[in-house]
A and B are shown apart, each in its own frame.
Chain A
């Protein structure tokens, strides 16, 4: 197998589909857990009660007085406080909903190859009257190294979002002071 095809097969060996699948599953499980917590928060908010001062009524009544023989119009102010006991959810405290808005999978690979070859030749010869000898010493070495380093990064962004419309209670106000009674749905 050539070097190029080995690098290619190493790149293909990155389990990218599995990584995407695992990230998607983790996000969906995380999202479900976050939604469950938000719904539980809504339940707790509807359990907790809060006294809200909804109306202060000032009633001014004339109280005629006389001082030093001079009559003047005095006034008596009666203040009436009207408290309404409502849940924190009714009062305006909502559970925070979160949503995974962006997810990134980053895979980094560093592939390095190194090939080195060495060739050496040594020739030795000696001669005399009757004999002749020669030696040849040849050396050939080749070294080859191949390394792959990889790292992966998974990053998700979690942002608070407005509560789903279906979870926000409707406020129906029936105003019987008017004729006919006026119904407002907010």
Chain B
């Protein structure tokens, strides 16, 4: 089993709460949200053993694997967007003290 990047799309007319619910379900499976677009499409990373569970989540219309092309026109910007999203989701593992500003 391996952590892979997937495109998860919801119906374009779905409510933002549905999108949030899908995102939180992916996170509850140990996944990470990398990008969310206005067209109700999420790019998320999660273990490939959870693909069917994500596909069955209420509000999910389609799930498909994606790969970042290193020669793409805006690959660097996508990398940056993914990194920014990850930065606010990955908990800090260092020995942070209760008063530290970098503690989540």
Contact = CB atoms under 8 A, between A and B. Distances in A.
Nearest to A36: B64
B62 A40 contact: yes
Given A49-B37, A49-B39, A91-B74, A37 B64 contact: yes
A160 interface: yes
B64 A41 contact: yes
Interface bin, chain A? 20 to 34
Given A93-B66, A94-B67, A48 B77 contact: no
Interface residues on B, range: 20 to 34
Nearest to B12: A47
B68 interface: yes
B35 interface: yes
Interface SS majority for chain A: mixed
Given A41-B7, A96-B65, A96-B66, A91 B39 contact: no
Interface centre among A40, A50, A86, by most chain B C-beta atoms within 10 angstroms, is A50
Interface in A55-108: 86, 88, 90-96, 98
Given A44-B9, A90-B74, 5 more contacts: A40-B62, A86-B74, A92-B73, A160-B65, A160-B67
